[in-house]
């Protein structure tokens, strides 16, 4: 599996932050596994590792948001890739003031989803999002992960 890991590191993966809220507590995790599953109906998928601190809580969330990051938002990607208590995670983070899952400020765009079915896939769970809304943010280069580094593309 080392060869599989090395090969996939050679392919750029878009970087996003998945965010959700449960009983007033905000959660966020950096993901590189967002995939379009269907346009009719609109569905997206995101894989969360079983070891992630957000894996359990997302199963209790009714809705989540996928915040697609711009090329200059590497700091946000690194911030949400760390495992820290949710209350600490949000200190100093710009969030758009609106009801629903938290939306990170100044992103390329946002996909708000109702949590659909989930599927066990190896050491991850694939969470399906039933797309409720899509909003474009600023027009800029996107953030990707390639060869163990963040790159603007």
Q: pLDDT tens-digit profile of 51-66?
A: 999 999 999 999 999 9
User: Can you read off the two tokens belonging to residue 49?
Assistant: 């590792």
pLDDT at site 97? 83
pLDDT in tens, 65-119: 999 999 999 999 999 998 766 667 898 999 998 899 999 999 999 999 999 999 9
The Cα–Cα gap between 145 and 152 comes to 9
Ranges 19-33, 75-89, 129-143: which has the least confidence: 75-89
pLDDT at site 82? 87
Q: How far apart are the first and last CA of the chain?
A: 28
In terms of Cβ atoms closer than 10 Å to its own Cβ (0-12, 13-18, 19+), residue 29 is buried
Paired residues of 103 in beta bridges: 96
Q: What's the chain's average pLDDT?
A: 94
Q: In sequence order, what are the residues at sequence separation of 6 or more whose Cβ sits closer than 8 angstroms to the Cβ of residue 39?
A: none
Average of per-residue pLDDT across 16-41: 95
pLDDT at site 30? 96
Domains detected in the chain: 2-152 (2.30.110.10)
The Cα–Cα gap between 13 and 45 comes to 14
pLDDT at site 1? 82
Average of per-residue pLDDT across 40-48: 97
């Amino acid at each position: 599996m080392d060869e599989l890991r090395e090969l996939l590191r050679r392919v750029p993966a878009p970087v996003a932050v998945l965010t959700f809220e449960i009983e007033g507590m905000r959660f966020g995790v950096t993901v590189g596994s967002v995939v379009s599953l269907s346009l009719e109906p609109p569905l997206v998928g995101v894989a969360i590792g079983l070891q992630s601190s957000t894996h359990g809580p997302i199963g209790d969330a009714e809705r989540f948001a996928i915040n697609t990051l711009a090329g200059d938002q590497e700091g946000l990607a690194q911030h949400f890739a760390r495992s820290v208590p949710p209350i600490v995670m949000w200190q100093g983070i710009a969030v758009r003031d609106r009801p629903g899952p938290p939306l990170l400020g100044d992103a390329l765009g946002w996909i708000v989803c109702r949590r659909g079915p989930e599927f066990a896939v190896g050491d991850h769970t694939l969470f399906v999002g039933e797309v409720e809304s899509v909003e474009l943010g600023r027009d800029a280069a996107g953030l990707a992960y390639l060869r163990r580094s963040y790159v603007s593309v």
